[in-house]
Structures are given as structure tokens and as C-alpha cells.
Structure 1
Amino acid sequence: MNEFLDILYHEFELPLSNPVLVFALILLIILVSPIVLRRLNIPGIIVLIISGIVIGPYGVGLLEQSSAIDLFSTIGLLYIMFIAGLELDMNQFKANRNKSFLFGFFTFILPLGIGFPVCYYLLGYGFNASFLTASMFATHTLLTYPIVSKMKVSKNEAVAITVGGTILTDTAVLIILAVIMGNHEGTLDMAFWQRLIISLAIFSAIIFLIVPRIAKWFFTRMENEKHSHYIFVLSVVFIAAFLAELAGVEPIIGAFLAGLGLNRLIPHSSALMNRIEFIGNSLFIPFFLISVGMLVDISVIFSGPMALIVAGTLSLVALFGKWLAAFFTQLVFKYSSSQRKVIFGLSSGHAAATLAVIIVGYNAGIIDENILNGTIILILVTSIVATLATERAAKKLVAESTEIDAAEVKKSDAYKSEAILLPIANILNFDKLLEFAILIKDKSSPNPISILSVVPNNEEAEVNIARATDKLEDFVRQASASETPVNVLAAIDHNVAAGIARKSKEIIADLIILGWPTQKGLMDKLIGKKMEKIISANKKTSFVTYFSRPLGTHKRIFLIVPPLAEKEEGFRLWIHKIELLSKELSVPVVINCTAETEKEIKKELKELKTDSPVTYKKFSAWEDFLILGKDMLEDDIVVLVSARKGSTSFQHILPTIPAKLEKYFFDKSRIIVYP
């Protein structure tokens, strides 16, 4: 008995040393602390940092810094910066790039210009410490973006330029960090600059030219190995971080640029993106935040007035610098006071990049514990202020609006109960079809994607239904990985087309997504006899799709629209879906149509307030359809808007075009839309 008690005492001797017990304790904190403190409306990031303070060596002493905690902390830090680069909406940035750059300049230079003299002259820190701390003021983390999204003001231009400004200011701060580290180590000479410029040029070429090509090849060749995709992405992050270190800059720069390099290849609603965010937000990032709290020595804050003065000064300077940047942005672009306040609210939150800069500086001995602890207080204060400011400003933006956003009204009315039906024909290519449906599904619709299998009405009907359901289980898991609800349906019918039409009416489907027929002999006047029957048997908007490569590897949508397509009932639906696909894949759209149709499409896209880059080309020579081939690129998704017989936009040439697409453009991904 005494031996057992000795073992028990040894295992729970502080600080805990058993790796299993340490890991279990941290997981328990990640699980419990946000739940306990949620009712106090304390941001989750602050909860985890406070938890780290409590259990750390300067708190109750449950844990101490160790190689294992340092490893997970480093992973979490790199993960934060990678996700920051990966989640940036590149289309939104391009649409407002000039305004975003100007705001980025303001929100970078003003906090830096105010913060440096305060730290250098008022607080009495050295050049490196003052410059590094001042650069920390320039960063911002979009902690409060979910608030503007929830209140339906995320499309406001003020919100868009604030998001875009993150690219400039965070990248500039990370470059400054490299320069400060060089100065601290005494290597800041002409050779340093030459080495930095050359190494950064080589490193950037690897990240933005070589890595995307390798990733595209990997995702294409290993398309069915879904789990290996995540391992590949994680490998890219840490290799990029290591290469950045070799280039003479901090690893966090490599992780951030790796996110930018892979941005276009990982759709925002894909299962891979969900896995990246899920694992990061569930484990690595909380682990990092707890480890940050473990660095904080509470006794330093209460040891004298200097620590409290530093904490208060840092918080005031950080908030004033961001307010001034928002104020100048308002003056230049003539924004309203509510727009200024929402810019301030979004940009005043400090977390990810701020922690990254300060932790690197602290580990290098550039800054002391007062600044480290003051930064933790700064994060707490700015998180609370940013939350309150953004919420109030967003409410005012909604109240001041003379009319509710037409695009949001249309989308909520038309798609709030959107239902998508996927009849299954060829299970070998069905994964791409399901991924496409997940990307274009309206995220506000509670309805699941319905996968339908139609089996012949014979003596083996029940057995065939059971077999079909079993085969579809893998696709249900695929959809679950992206948190998209899926419903498996089965219908018994002598006629496949009739079964699909009947089921589409039962679930009140808005959209039917079909796979392109692949068997020889099926190509007829339309696509094939079966497809012709399916299209003619229902009046729902239908997409007939074929993807020659993974969706994320495409670079453009090449849209071909016949005259009078704007007169069809499903015009707005397919416009919305193409715009959503463009946004998910971060690719531009080229639209070939007549001047009259172009006018209506522009009108619709204006109401949707799309950020996707769209160009128009005049096209009316439908008898010479193949001439469009000279404008198509290898990585295009070719989208043809067709029409059913008897509809307003129908013309005799349309039924022959699908066969031409398959014959002359067999290597291209293609979609045919039947409104």
C-alpha cells in the first residue's frame, strides 16, 4: 500500500512530469475553460491565456516549460500564421486592392509612428525593443469578423478593405521582425541586406511558383487519398517555415506565405479546409495560447508601478493608433462614422501576429517581462474593446441603411430552404460531383444535399437498394468532413428519369446536379438518350458536370451564355451558383455573351456585390461555336448555359454543342446548365 502511495505521490508531484498526465491536463483545460467562462463573455483566446497563467510555473506550478510544450507551442504559432494566409479572400482583396493598400499603409505607419517614440522616449527602452514593440501595434487580428458576418454587413466596403489591409500590415511587420533580429544579432550590414533580398527572392519563388505546382500535381495524382492531403499541407507549412529560417527571416513568415501560396488550391468550404481549421482550432492553437500564458509572471505586474505603467501605455497606444488609422481612412474615402467605427473595431483586436512578434522578441532577449506581460494585458483590453466597438458599429450600419441589402434579401428568400439533388449514376466519379455540390450549396440553407439512387422495380429491388446505400456511406463521410449534411435516398422505378423527376418534386429540389455520361454510344442530339430524358422529365434547374481534375486546381471559369438567357426563370439561380463557385475557388470569370445579356448579368452581380473578377467578351456567332476554343485555357472550367426545347432562349444549335464539347474539348472540365 505504501509503495502504491509513493508511486501516486511521485506521479502528482509538482510540476507534473508524466507526459500522458500533462497532455491530459492541457486537453481538459482546452475543453472546460471556454465552457465555464463563456457566460462571462470573455473571448476564448483570453480564457486560454489566463488558464496558462494559472497552471504555469508562475501560477500554481502544475506545469513547467519543457521540450514537449515548446514543440507544441511552436506548431501552434506556425499554424496561426498559416491559417491567416490561407483564409484571406484573394478575390475580395483584388476587388478593393487600392483602398486596402491605402488602409494597410495607414494602419501600419500610424501605430508604428506613434508607438516608437512612446517606447523609446517615454518608457526608456532601447532602439530594437522600441521598434519591435511599435511594430507589434501595427498588426491586427480579425477577432470580431464573425460579428459583422452575423449581422449581414460583411459585404460593406469598409469591412472589405479592413480584411484586405491585413495582407500589407502583417507582412510588413514580419519583414521588420527579420530586420530587427538581424540588428540585434549585429549582422545588419550591406551583406545582410543583399543576403536578405536574394534569399527572400529565392524563397518567394519557391513558395509562389514551385509549391503551387507541386501541390497541384499532388492533389491531382493523389485525388482519392483524402487523408494524405492534410499531411501534405502540413509538410508544406513546416518545410516553408524551415526555408524561411534558412533565408534569414522568422519561420512564422514562411508559414504565412505558405498559406498564401496554397490559398487558391484549397476551397474555403472544402473538407480539407475544414480539417485544417478543425485540428488547428481544437488542439495546436489552444496549446500555443496556453503556453503563452505560462510565460507570464504575475508577480512582475504587481512588483512595482513600472509594469502597470507599461501595460497601460501599450494598451492606450495600440487603441489610439488604430483609431487614427480608421479616422484617416474615413476622411480619404468619405465613409460614415459607423463605417469608421467598424474599421476601428475590426482592426483594433490584437492576437495572432501580435503574440508571434512578441514571443520571438522575448525568446531572443530583445524585450523584457514587462513588455511581455503588458502585451498580454493589451490583448485582453483590445479584444474586449474590439468586440464592443464592432458590435455597436455593425448595429448602426444596419439601422442607418435606407433599405436592406437587396442581394441578401434575394438570397435569403430564394435559398433559405434550398434543396440540392444528386442522382448517382457512376459511383467512380461521384466524389467530384459531391465536392462540387458542397462548394455551391448555400451555407444558410438547413436542408441536406440529397443523394439519390434509382433502382429498377423488380424482384431484387430491395436488395439493390441496400447495396446502393452501403456504397454511398463513403460519400456521406466525405460530406461530413466538410460539415455538410447529406441525406441518402433511394427510389424504385422502371424509368430512371421518372424516378429522378418524382423524387425532385418530393423534396422540392431547387437544383439537380448530374454527372456527365461516360459510356460510348450515349452521345445523341443532347448528351445522351438517358440524359435527354432526365432533363426533359423535370423542370428544375439542372447542372450536367464533368471535372477532368480536382476542383481546387482550376484557374478560371469560362462561361458561355446564349441570347435571352436572362429571360429564363432560373437565370438568377445559376448566376448565384457560378459566382459562389468563383468565390470558393478564388478564380476569375470570363463571360461570353451578347451586349443585352451582359447588361442583365452585370445588374445581377451588382446586387450580389460580388468580389470575383469578371470580364466580358462579346459573342453571338453560335453557328461557329468552336471559335471560342482559341480563348480557352488548359485549366478552365467551361460552363455552357443551354436551354430546354420551347424555352425563350432555345435555339436549334444548342442541342449539338454538348457533343462538340466532348469531342473537341475532352480534356477540359465542363458544366452544362439547363435553367
Structure 2
Amino acid sequence: MLLSIHHVTFPIEDPLLKFLIELIIILCIPLLLNKIKVPHLLGLIIAGAVIGPNGFNVLSRDSSVVVTGTTGLLYIMFLAGLEIDMGDFKKNKWKSLTFSIYTFAAPFVLGFLGGYYILHFSILTSVLFASLFSSHTLIVYPMVSSLGIAKNLSVNITVGGTMITDVLSLLVLAVVVGMSQGEVGTSFWVQLSASMAVFTLIVLLVFPIIARWFFKNVEDKISQYIFVIVMIYMAALLAELAGIEAIIGAFFAGLALNRLIPHTSSLMNRVEFVGNAIFIPFFLISVGMLIDFNAFIQSWETLGVAGIMLVASIGGKYLAAMLTKKTFRLTNDEGQLIFGMSAASAAATLASVMVGYNIIISENEAGEPIRLLNEHVLNGSILLILISCTVSSFVAMASAQRIAEADKDNTVSGKSEEKEKILLAINHTTTVEKLVNLGLLVKTITNKDRLFGINVINEEANESSAKNAEKILGAAVNMASAADVKLNAITRHDNDVVSGINNVIKEQGITDLIIGLEDEKGFSTAFTDNLYNGYLRNKNANVIVYHAVQPVSTIKKYIVLVPANAEKDAGFFHAMLRIWNIGRNSGASMIFYGSSSTLDILKRIIKKANIEAKFNAVTTWQQAQEAAYNLGDNEGLIVMMADRGMYSYFPQMRAVPELLNQKLNGHNYMLIYPFSKTYKTITEKRAVSNHHDFAEIGKVIGKIFK
């Protein structure tokens, strides 16, 4: 082995040494560049150019590099579709469409004028040349997302617009290729339209059905991750069969699985971790390997073509971003972020250039091939990739960091800085995973270390009971850490489980207590007694009773029952925040049933919550119960409850647990009992009662959350 290392020849062929070099680059580049505040993705591209075949030829751009690089490219597009807020996207679909028109048209017009009038390309070549600049690659999306602003309006608009403009530019490619080969006719358009329609229906309708079944029946975490990778490649393959690029298939796969992989789940953390650690860096290195600096030194014509490409692409994207900012009255930072995210040209641009370069339309007098796109465009596209990614990295990260710092909107929409502390009562092995998953779902995204798990051990318990408690809490800690969340384990020795939990609530300042019901037992007489005479005696914590028969990520819709006058209860808005977090983090839609006055308040606040919601006014509680009894498959129930003495309490509430045992034991449901602590002042009480004054309600909520 030592002899073989001393006689290394370039490019290196030994697979172990090749992989080691690439890993060292991925490890060291971020560490070095973070100190000088240079985006590491730029360093990875440059490193690829240095070690690539056009640099020092340390490594060749062989099939292994291409495969991992392709996976990284698909990963970027998949994550963009997976992390997009579908509720936000539906609300802002016209904004995304408008941006896509701007960002497609502006670079296209500039590119066509440059290609036809300056470079004297044919009309067909000029159209393909112009389409190169209309698409863009969300190469900085993982870094922008890591700053916690993936749900920002400008990010949402850009991601949605990317899907549309990339499809349009790749459609132009398909049409130009067909025309260059004389294949465009009625049958061509019919076949293309039909294949795209079939592809869209399969991915967006069939994939979610398959995925929901898989996640409900397969609990193995490794299998779930491999399943996700299979879905990415399957969608990419279907896209190619439909006549469009694989990256569009990966994006659609992300949309298809969007609601089945909660943003706060351990599976999402695995998907992001592996992609950001391995596949995406390999893609960036593989892009760098295409860069040939000698081509620019040897040919002034290549530099001229590259200059036109840069003006058309970056200038067009800047113009489109500023038009979008003006149209929708966005802030300067949001406009800059749109420009930064859309400025990078890599995936679709490179794919289109390679296709155009490989198409030979004729031969010159010397017998040399005349290509649809010549080598000057090919080399110019490499420079475009390098410079556009550089501009994208610096502009996007600078504006994203400013937005992240300024994004402190303290509202009940879930963006507040509420110091929540969520306690999971973990006493049974069968409920550990269910409770942890719900805890990850109801918490605000910024809460990474205020999740607690408690197991109460009887004072007279033997050593085996203590070991079992330690094992249960250990499993909960591991599950939470898989989602990059710290769960603080508490083992409590007490003669009574209820008093042990209530004491911890007081000692730790717990804001929410989540208790799980065992599937086969439901609401037992003993549990119901402990609930009303024990847990609810603690007035400072929101109490959630949870019953699950299927993974929470597979629930498509929740029926939410809200009693009349619930908005007057002290903990109402705190409890609603938990419901909104479930909808926002899981993507499930919410159907609210309640009185007209209560729903009016929710309609006004829901605009800030970014979830899909519908509202049905009812005049009696019996009408609301009927809606609950008609739950379908993959639907869950949330009931807002109250204890005696609260504004929304009525005697029939005591019968709800028994009715759930009888009617809905085969469904997921949760009962939420808002805390009932008294207000500090009469002014605060009056402000909440006067629910028409939304601004004043917001101030009171802020005080309550503190």
C-alpha cells in the first residue's frame, strides 16, 4: 500500500484516496472560508476547478463524481420542494407566477438580443441561447434555509417561481431540439403535453398515496430514508421519460412528500443532514471540475460571448428581482434576496448547453461539425456558472442574514419569542415515539432545547423499575436528538404520578404538558379521574391529551372543535398557537367548527399563521360533534376543552372522553385544556374580552407569553 502511494499518478484512480481527498475538501473549505465570511459553496466550486481535469488534474470527472454530483443536484431541488410552505405557496401563487414571468422574460429578451444582433446566431440558436439565462438553480437555498427564513415571503416567491421558470426554459429546450431535428408538429405538442400531464398526475397524486401507506406501515428509520431517495430518483426518471429534465422531477417529488415529512421531524433532519454533508458538496465540486480557465486566456471570442451571457443572465435576474420588489412592495433586503437566490445559473443552464452542444446541425467546408451551440458558448457557460454562483452566494447570504436578524415578529402566528417549555409525560414504551413526534410538532421552530420528558417512579419501586424508566427516557432523548432537538430527561421519585408531574411543572415553569393515551385503553376511569382532579389543578400549564393510532405525519386534515366563548379564556391564544404549529409544521389542513364570534377572531389572526384553514359556524355543540363523528381515513380530531369556572365550560364536556372511547378509538385525536391562570390586571382581562380590538389582544398575548 505504501509503495502504491509513493507512485501515485494523476489523475488518481484509487477509490479510497479519491474519496478521502473529496472529504478533506468538504471538511476544510467551510472551516477556512467561514473565518473570512466567504460562502463555502463558492470555495467548493473553486476547489473542484483546482483539482479537476482542467486544473492540476488530481481527480478526473468520472462516473463516480457524476453520479454523486447528480444526486446532489436532485437533492437541492428536492429540498426546495420539500421545505416550501404549501399554505404560503397557495396564498402567494400569483406572486410566484408574476415573478416567474419577470425572471423568465427579462433574461430571455436580453439573451436573444445579444445572440441575434451581436453574436449573429440564427433565430433558432438565439432562442436556445436566450433560454439559458431564464432558468436558475437554488444553489444557496440550503444556506438560506439554515438561517430559519425558509418561510419568508421573498423565499417562497423565489422557490415557487423557480419551478415555473425552469419548466418554461426546459420546454424551450425541448421545442428547439425538436425543431432542429425537424420533429415539431401536432403530434409533437400532443405527445409533450400528454406526457407532462401524466408525469404530474403520477408524482403529485400517486406518490403521496404510496408514501402515506409506507410511513404508516414501516417504522424502520433507515428504510424510511432509503424510501425518500427512491422517490427522488423515481420522480427524476419519470420526468426524463416525460421529456423534461430530471431536476423538475426532483422538485415535484419534494412537493409530493411535503406534507408527509414534517419540517420538525427526525426524518427531515436526516434528509437535510445527508444532503448538506455529502451529496450537495459533491455536486458543487463536480461543477467546479467543468471550469477551464485556459479557454478564456486562449480565446478573446470566448470572453466576449461570456460577457454577453453574464449581462443577460445576471442583469436580467436583477431587473426581474427589482420589478418583483416594486410590484409587491417588498423591502430592499427581500428584493436583494430574490435576486441573490435567482442569480445562480448551474443545473438547467448546464443541461441545456450540453444538449445544444451535442446537436450537430451541419458541417463546414472542412468537414468540421457545426453545432447548435458552439464551444464558445460552452466555455462561456462555465464562467457564467462560476461568477453567477459567486454573486448569488454573497448577495443572498448578506440579505438573508439581515432578514433573519430583523425577523422578530412577536405575534401569535408562531414567530414569537415565547419562552415555551413543553413537558412530555413518558411512562409507557408504546407512547414514547408518539409523544416525542407530537412534541416536535407543537413546538415553535426556534425551540431547540426547551423540550422535557418525565418518568415518575414510585418511592418504593425496585431497581428494575428505575432501569426501565432510564431506558424509556433514553429512547425519547435519542428520538428528539435525531431531529436536532435536545430533550431534557427528568426522573422523578414520588409516591404519586400526578403530584410528581405537577411539582415538576411548577419547578421548571412548564407551559405545556402532553400526556399520551395507550391505544387499547383510551380514557380509563383512573386516567379521567387523574385528569380532572390532578393535572388540571395546575392552572399555569396547557394540558394536551393525545391518542394516536397512526403516525402524526400521515394525517391530512384535522377537524378542530372550539366551544363558544373560548376566546375569553386565559390560555386560549396559547392553545391556538399549538394548533397552528401542528398545521404549519405538518402541512395538514384545519377545519374549524365554532360560534361565529369565535371564528371571526380566528379568521383575523389566521392570516399570520400561514396554514390552510376553513371555518364552519355552528350554533350548537351537537353540530360540532357530528362533524367529529364523520372523520375519514387519515383525518384527526382536535377538541378545545375547558375546566370548571372557565368562560367556555359547559357540563356536556365531561362526556367527551367517553364519547371518544366509543366513537373514535380508531382515529388520532387530542384534547387541549388551556391554562386558566387569572389575569394580572383588570385591564388585561378587559382587553381579551374585547376581542374586536386585535392590536390590544396582541399586546395582552405578549404579556401572557412572558
With the length of structure 1 as denominator, give the TM-score of the two structures. Answer: 0.89
Q: Distance in 2 between matches of 1:452 and 1:360?
A: 60
Other-structure match for 1:528: 528
Range moving further from structure 2, 500-509 or 345-354: 345-354
Deviations 1:25-75 (A, max 9, x none): 111111112222233333222211111111111111111232222222232
**Residues 496 and 107 of structure 1: is their aligned pair in 2 closer, same or farther, counting only changes over 3 Å?**
same
Q: Distance in 2 between matches of 1:207 and 1:175?
A: 19
**Residues 133 and 421 of structure 1: is their aligned pair in 2 closer, same or farther, counting only changes over 3 Å?**
farther
The 8 Å contact of residues 413 and 580 in structure 2, kept in 1 or not, is answered as no
**Residues 113 and 538 of structure 1: is their aligned pair in 2 closer, same or farther, counting only changes over 3 Å?**
same
SS at match of 1:558: strand
Q: Does 1:34 align with 2:55?
A: no
Other-structure match for 1:665: 664
**Residues 338 and 271 of structure 1: is their aligned pair in 2 closer, same or farther, counting only changes over 3 Å?**
closer
Other-structure match for 1:371: 377
Other-structure match for 2:295: 300
The alpha-carbon deviation at position 393 of structure 1 amounts to: 6.2
Q: Which amino acid aligns with 2:531?
A: M
The 8 Å contact of residues 34 and 44 in structure 1, kept in 2 or not, is answered as yes
**Residues 464 and 99 of structure 1: is their aligned pair in 2 closer, same or farther, counting only changes over 3 Å?**
same
Deviations 1:196-215 (A, max 9, x none): 22222222222122221111
Q: Which amino acid aligns with 1:536?
A: L
Q: Which amino acid aligns with 1:482?
A: A
**Residues 359 and 588 of structure 1: is their aligned pair in 2 closer, same or farther, counting only changes over 3 Å?**
farther
Within a 5 Å distance, the mapping from 1:10-409 to structure 2 comes to: 10=7, 12-125=8-121, 130-142=126-138, 157-183=153-179, 187-222=183-218, 224-333=219-328, 340-358=335-353, 367-386=373-392, 389=395, 405-407=409-411
Q: Distance in 2 between matches of 1:661 and 1:278?
A: 40
SS at match of 1:479: helix
Q: Distance in 2 between matches of 1:392 and 1:225?
A: 40
Q: Distance in 1 between matches of 2:297 and 2:157?
A: 40
Other-structure match for 2:441: 439
Q: Which amino acid aligns with 2:411?
A: A
Q: Distance in 2 between matches of 1:389 and 1:139?
A: 18
SS at match of 1:322: helix
Q: Distance in 2 between matches of 1:248 and 1:342?
A: 32
The 8 Å contact of residues 163 and 251 in structure 2, kept in 1 or not, is answered as no
SS at match of 2:424: strand
The 8 Å contact of residues 425 and 453 in structure 2, kept in 1 or not, is answered as yes
The alpha-carbon deviation at position 457 of structure 1 amounts to: 1.0
Q: Distance in 1 between matches of 2:174 and 2:137?
A: 20
Gaps spanning 5+ residues in structure 2: where? Answer: 360-370, 675-706
The alpha-carbon deviation at position 561 of structure 1 amounts to: 0.6
Range moving further from structure 2, 597-606 or 205-214: 597-606
SS at match of 1:17: coil
Q: Distance in 1 between matches of 2:372 and 2:441?
A: 46
Other-structure match for 2:687: none
**Residues 127 and 452 of structure 1: is their aligned pair in 2 closer, same or farther, counting only changes over 3 Å?**
farther
Q: Distance in 2 between matches of 1:432 and 1:480?
A: 15
The 8 Å contact of residues 311 and 375 in structure 1, kept in 2 or not, is answered as yes
**Residues 396 and 86 of structure 1: is their aligned pair in 2 closer, same or farther, counting only changes over 3 Å?**
closer
Q: Which amino acid aligns with 1:430?
A: V
The 8 Å contact of residues 511 and 542 in structure 1, kept in 2 or not, is answered as yes
Range moving further from structure 2, 481-490 or 630-639: 630-639
Within a 5 Å distance, the mapping from 1:526-565 to structure 2 comes to: 528-539=528-539, 540-565=541-566
Q: Distance in 2 between matches of 1:70 and 1:335?
A: 39
The alpha-carbon deviation at position 517 of structure 1 amounts to: 4.4
Other-structure match for 1:647: 646
The alpha-carbon deviation at position 143 of structure 1 amounts to: 5.5
Other-structure match for 1:476: 477
With the length of structure 2 as denominator, give the TM-score of the two structures. Answer: 0.86
Deviations 1:415-464 (A, max 9, x none): 2x32111011331132122111112222323434211111111051x542
Q: Distance in 1 between matches of 2:413 and 2:637?
A: 30
**Residues 269 and 445 of structure 1: is their aligned pair in 2 closer, same or farther, counting only changes over 3 Å?**
closer
The 8 Å contact of residues 572 and 604 in structure 1, kept in 2 or not, is answered as no
Q: Distance in 1 between matches of 2:542 and 2:478?
A: 27
Range moving further from structure 2, 13-22 or 72-81: 72-81
**Residues 200 and 298 of structure 1: is their aligned pair in 2 closer, same or farther, counting only changes over 3 Å?**
same
Q: Does 1:7 align with 2:7?
A: no
Q: Distance in 2 between matches of 1:502 and 1:150?
A: 37
Q: Distance in 2 between matches of 1:613 and 1:409?
A: 13
SS at match of 1:166: helix
Q: Distance in 1 between matches of 2:179 and 2:259?
A: 36
**Residues 670 and 122 of structure 1: is their aligned pair in 2 closer, same or farther, counting only changes over 3 Å?**
same
The alpha-carbon deviation at position 172 of structure 1 amounts to: 2.3
The alpha-carbon deviation at position 641 of structure 1 amounts to: 0.3
Identity across the alignment (%): 36
SS at match of 2:651: coil
Aligned-residue RMSD, C-alpha: 3.1
Q: Distance in 2 between matches of 1:488 and 1:215?
A: 33
The alpha-carbon deviation at position 564 of structure 1 amounts to: 1.6
Range moving further from structure 2, 266-275 or 532-541: 532-541
Aligned length: 662
**Residues 547 and 405 of structure 1: is their aligned pair in 2 closer, same or farther, counting only changes over 3 Å?**
same
Q: Which amino acid aligns with 1:635?
A: N
Q: Which of 420, 424, 427 is the equivalent residue of 2:426?
A: 424
Q: Distance in 2 between matches of 1:238 and 1:397?
A: 34
Q: Distance in 1 between matches of 2:146 and 2:238?
A: 39
Other-structure match for 1:455: 457
**Residues 432 and 5 of structure 1: is their aligned pair in 2 closer, same or farther, counting only changes over 3 Å?**
closer
SS at match of 1:453: strand
The alpha-carbon deviation at position 161 of structure 1 amounts to: 2.9
